[in-house]
A and B are shown apart, each in its own frame.
Chain A
Amino acid sequence: GDSVTQMEGPVTLSEEAFLTINCTYTATGYPSLFWYVQYPGEGLQLLLKATKADDKGSNKGFEATYRKETTSFHLEKGSVQVSDSAVYFCALNSGGSNYKLTFGKGTLLTVNP
């Protein structure tokens, strides 16, 4: 079945540091890939997505590239801010049904001033 594996947190960085959160997946077919972010006390929000191999999703300075050969979708940001402190979820939709998302367990990021 479909699965998503994220690097375990928590991740603690200083402001302006470089961020990478690793995500790999197992899926049937050609999945679409997503990163969601959950700020404290809130629900999940879509951060970025990529729907086919070699696509790059980007938003708010975050980027992730769909790598079919390595089945990965790592999240990166060149310079994190305190306001980026949140839990980040990698997710996929395998395309068999156009509604079902499979989520990773989430990675807690804390950015210190």
Chain B
Amino acid sequence: DAGVIQSPRHEVTEMGQEVTLRCKPISGHNSLFWYRQTMMRGLELLIYFNNNVPIDDSGMPEDRFSAKMPNASFSTLKIQPSEPRDSAVYFCASSLPTSGVRINEQFFGPGTRLTVL
């Protein structure tokens, strides 16, 4: 199993440019999460999808951020326009279907390190 795949691994861009981060979850996982990790704020949940539908986007910082999941095997996180304060490591994670009160393990990708100059 290849695990959660993210691309690119590193992205350097200039302020004002559009940035698109990509994620391929583990096959059979129908829950997908986008996180942001910074020194100041730690690990924050940005958005959660279940069966390709956004369930909780309360962590998305502002309208410059958007996320899509057009099918079960692909998701994108877009920042437009990007700003230096968006510099962080962005993780995608996936898990098996959630049900009842059971919480399933989240499997994390290796992350995308974004630097906005």
Residue with the greatest number of chain B CB neighbours at <10 A, chosen from A43, A45, A99: A43
CA distance A99 to B4 in the complex (A): 17
Residues A101 and B56 in contact in the complex (CB < 8 Å), given A43-B93, A43-B111, A44-B91: no
Residues A93 and B4 in contact in the complex (CB < 8 Å), given A99-B33, A104-B42: no
Q: Is B98 within 8 A of A99, CB to CB?
A: yes
In residues 69-102 of chain B, which contact A (Cβ within 8 Å)?
A: 91, 93, 95, 98-102
Q: Is B103 within 8 A of A99, CB to CB?
A: yes
Question: Please, what's the 1-or-0 string for B61-75, where 1 marks a CB less than 8 Å from any CB in chain A?
Answer: 000000000000000
- Report if A32 contacts B (CB, 8 A): yes
- Report if B25 contacts A (CB, 8 A): no
Q: Is A89 within 8 A of B43, CB to CB?
A: yes
Q: Is A45 within 8 A of B108, CB to CB?
A: yes
Q: What's the least CB distance linking B52 to chain A, in Å? A: 15
Interface SS majority for chain A: loop
Question: Please, what's the 1-or-0 string for A8-48, where 1 marks a CB less than 8 Å from any CB in chain B?
Answer: 00000000000000000000000010000000011111100
Residue with the greatest number of chain B CB neighbours at <10 A, chosen from A45, A99, A104, A105: A99
- Report if B54 contacts A (CB, 8 A): no
Q: Is B103 within 8 A of A46, CB to CB?
A: no
- Report if B1 contacts A (CB, 8 A): no
- Report if A98 contacts B (CB, 8 A): yes
CA distance A101 to B95 in the complex (A): 12
- Report if A68 contacts B (CB, 8 A): no
Chain B residues, Cβ within 8 Å of A97 = 56
- Report if A73 contacts B (CB, 8 A): no
Chain B residues, Cβ within 8 Å of A41 = 110
Residues A43 and B42 in contact in the complex (CB < 8 Å), given A93-B103, A99-B48, A100-B48: no
Chain A residues, Cβ within 8 Å of B33 = 99
Q: Is A100 within 8 A of B56, CB to CB?
A: yes
Question: Please, what's the 1-or-0 string for B98-117, where 1 marks a CB less than 8 Å from any CB in chain A?
Answer: 11111101111111000000
- B interface, CB within 8 angstroms of A: 4, 31, 33, 42-43, 45, 48, 50, 55-56, 91, 93, 95, 98-103, 105-111
